[in-house]
Amino acid sequence: GAGAARVVSTWDFGVGANAAAWGVLGAGGTALEAVEAGARWAEADLCNPTVGRCGNPDRDGVLTLDASIMDGDGRCGAVAALEDIAHPVSVARAVMEKTPHVMLVGDGAQQFALEQGFEKTPLLTDGAREAWHEWRRESRYEPKINVERDRIQRSRPGDSHDHDTLGILALDAQGRLAGACTTSGMAWKLHGRVGDSPIVGAGLYVDNEVGAATASGVGEEMIRNAASFLVVELMRQGRSPMDACREAIDRVVRKRPEASRRLQVCFLALNRDGEVGAFALHEGFVYALHDGGAGPHERLHDAGA
Ligand code: SD4
C-alpha cells in the first residue's frame, strides 16, 4: 500500500496531473518520479493555454517554457525561456541529475536538451497563434485575475475549468517530498521574461524536514517575496500549511497593496505529515488532492486577504 502517500496540484486540471502522479506513487514510486509524471501530463494537455504545448506565446509570438523540479533532499533543476521542447520538466530533471548546475536558460537550455536526446518540436498551436493575432490588435499587457476561467466560461457556458500553471507536490510512502512546477508563463509577456515557476524558492520549494510549497499567479510577486521559500520557512516555524500560505499572501499585499487588487497570487503547501493547505489573494483558486482514497477530488479554496 502507499500508506500516507499523497499528491496535490494547482487548479482543477490538477486532477489529471494527480492521476498521472498517482500511477507512480500508488505503485510505490518516489515522490520525485511522481511529480515529474504529473507535470508531463499537464505539459502534454492540448487544452491548457498556460502550460506546455498548448501555451500562449509572448509578445513576439514565441512560446517559451519555464519549469523546475525539486527533491526534498535539496537537489533541484530548472529551465527557463526554453523553446520547442515538449517536456521542460524532464529537461529540468536532467539539469538536476546530469549537470553540476541548477538552472539553464534559453538557447543553452535547448542545446542541453537536444544533447540529452529530447526532440525539437514546434509547439505553438493554431489556437495559440490565433489568440496572439487577436491580442496584437490592442497589444495591452493586462493580466486578468483568473485568466482562463473567464475565457473558457465564455466559450463553453457552464464549464468552469481553470487552466493555468501546474504546481504539483507529492509525499511518497517513504516520507519523501518532491515538487515540480511547469508553465508557459504570463501570456504576452516580453520576450525573455522569466517568471517564478523555474526559480527555486519563488515558484517552488521543497524540504524533507518541513514540507513543500508551490505558487501560481503573477510570478513577479512570488519572486519579489521569495514566496515558496517563505511558505516553507513559515511551516518550519510551526504554521500549518494553510496559515503559512495565508501569511505569505499577507506579505504580498503589504508589499504592494495597490497592485494586489488587480493581480492573482495563489499558494499551495503540503507538510511532511501530509497536511495540505492553500490560500489565494482573490477568489477562484482551486487545487486537487489525491490520497488514494475514494478517488481524486477537488477542494475549492475560499479566497480572502
Ligand atoms: C508566471 N506564475 O510565469 C506563472 C504564471 C501562472 O497561471 O501561474 N499563470 O508568472
Q: How many CA atoms lie within 13 A of 144 on its CB side?
A: 9
> Which contiguous run of DSSP H or E holds residue 25?
helix 14-25
Q: What is the pLDDT of residues 8-67, one digit of tens each?
A: 999 988 989 999 999 999 999 999 999 999 999 999 987 778 888 889 999 999 999 999
Look up the ipTM and state it: 0.98
Q: Using a 6 Å CB cutoff, which residues line ligand 1? A: 50, 164-165, 183, 185-186, 195-197, 216-219
Catalytic residue among 50, 165, 183, 214: 165
- Cα of 186 to ligand 1 centre, how many Å? 5
- Is 165 in the active site? yes
Which pTM value belongs to this model?
Answer: 0.93
- Cα of 164 to ligand 1 centre, how many Å? 7
Rg over alpha carbons for the chain, rounded to the nearest Å, is: 18
The residues, any chain, with a CB within 8 Å of residue 92's CB and separated by 6 or more, are 67, 68, 69, 77, 78, 79, 180, 198
Side chain identity, residue 170: A
Q: In what order do the strands lie in the sheet with 276-280?
A: 204-207, 211-217, 265-271, 276-280
- Cα of 222 to ligand 1 centre, how many Å? 9
Span 155-182, average pLDDT: 78
